[in-house]
Copies of this chain bind each other. A is one copy, B any other.
C-alpha cells in the first residue's frame, strides 16, 4: 500500500492539465476543423496561454492525434456487452441495435470522430485505418457472428445481411450523418427511428414473417 500525499485542488488541476487540454482541443477542432483551429483558442478555452499547450504537446498535429485517441472510448466494453447477450436472437439483435445507437449514433463524441475521419482523413490516414481496425471491423464481426449464430439456431433465415452486416447498421450511420448536418434544425424522432430500424431488420430475418 503506497502512501500518497493528499492531492489538493491545485495539484489536482495540474494533474488534469493534459486531459483538460485534450477536451478543449476536441471542442475547438469540432468547431473549426483542424486547419482553422488556432492553438491559442484551445488555450484560451481553459484559461491558459499558448505556451502551456506546447509544454504538454509537441505540435498541433500531435495534439490533434492525441485528442482523437482521448475521445475514442475503448471498444472492449461494447464487445464484452455484446458477447454477454443471451436469450432469443431477435432480442439479442434488438439489444445490439440499441447499444449501437447509444454508443455510436447518438453519442456526440462518436459522431464528431466520424466527422474528423471524413474531414481530416486525408491529412491523418492512419487515424482512419486505426478506427477501421479498432471499431468498425470488430463491430461488424460481432454482428456477423450474431447473425450466424441466429441462423445456426434456426431463428434467422439466411438473409444477405449475414454476409454484409454493414447494411444492417447503415440506418445508424444515417442518423449520425443527419445529426452532423442538421443537428437541431431538422427534427428527427430518434425513438421511432430506432424502433423502425429494429422492426425492419427482424422483418427480413425472422423465419416467420410477421406478416
Is residue A204 contacting chain B, with contact meaning CB distance below 8 A? yes
Copies of this chain, how many? 4
Partner of A167 from B119, B159, B161, B197 at Cβ < 8 Å: B197
Chain B residues within 8 Å of A160, by CB: 195-196, 199-200
Interface presence of A149 (CB below 8 A):
no
| Docked pose: A180 CA to B125 CA in angstroms | 12
A contact patch SS: helix
Residues on B with beta carbons closer than 8 Å to the beta carbon of A119: 33, 115, 118-120
User: What residues on B are CB-neighbors of A171 within 8 Å?
Assistant: 166-167, 170
Interface size, A (range): 35 or more
Are A174 and B181 neighbours in the complex by a CB distance under 8 Å? no
Is A204 a contact partner of B207 (Cβ separation < 8 A)?
no
- Shortest C-beta distance, A5 to chain B (Å), equals 18
Contacting residues, chain B, for A169 (C-beta < 8 A): 174
CA distance A117 to B181 in the complex (A): 7
A7 on the interface (CB 8 Å rule)? no
A33 near B35 (CB under 8 angstroms)? yes
Pull 9 A–B residue pairs with CB atoms less than 8 Å apart, ordered by A.
A32-B122, A33-B33, A35-B35, A35-B36, A115-B119, A118-B177, A159-B200, A164-B193, A209-B209
